[in-house]
Amino acid sequence: MHSAMGKVWFIVGLVASRYYIAIDATNIIGFSLLFAALFSLTGGYMEPDPTPLPRRRLKLFR
């Protein structure tokens, strides 16, 4: 029972924090702070695929 209530309060806290971030993001200063936090957490520019695919199809020999 104790862990179930802990999960409920954890979910309520997540929803409340997301609601607060959504309100804060409407402010210009809040948006810039949120962007700076996300930029620092993701490490800035992340290359989606470091190994590019070959430009032409490779012929498979049997």
Rounded CA gap, 25 and 35, in Å? 9
Domains in the chain: how many in total?
Answer: 1
Task: Evaluate whether residue 53 is within a structural domain.
Answer: no
Residue 37: band (very low, low, confident or very high) from pLDDT cuts 50, 70, 90: confident
CB 34 within 8 A of CB 24: yes
The string of pLDDT tens digits covering residues 3-34 is 666 666 666 666 666 655 555 555 666 667 66
Domain holding 29, by residue range, is 15-43
Task: Evaluate whether residue 19 is within a structural domain.
Answer: yes
Task: Evaluate whether residue 2 is within a structural domain.
Answer: no
Whether residue 38 has pLDDT greater than 70:
no
Burial 7-35, CB ≥16 within 10 A → b, else e: eeeeeeeeeeeeeeeeeeeeeeeeeeeee
Whether residue 47 has pLDDT greater than 60:
no
Task: Evaluate whether residue 58 is within a structural domain.
Answer: no
CB 34 within 8 A of CB 25: yes
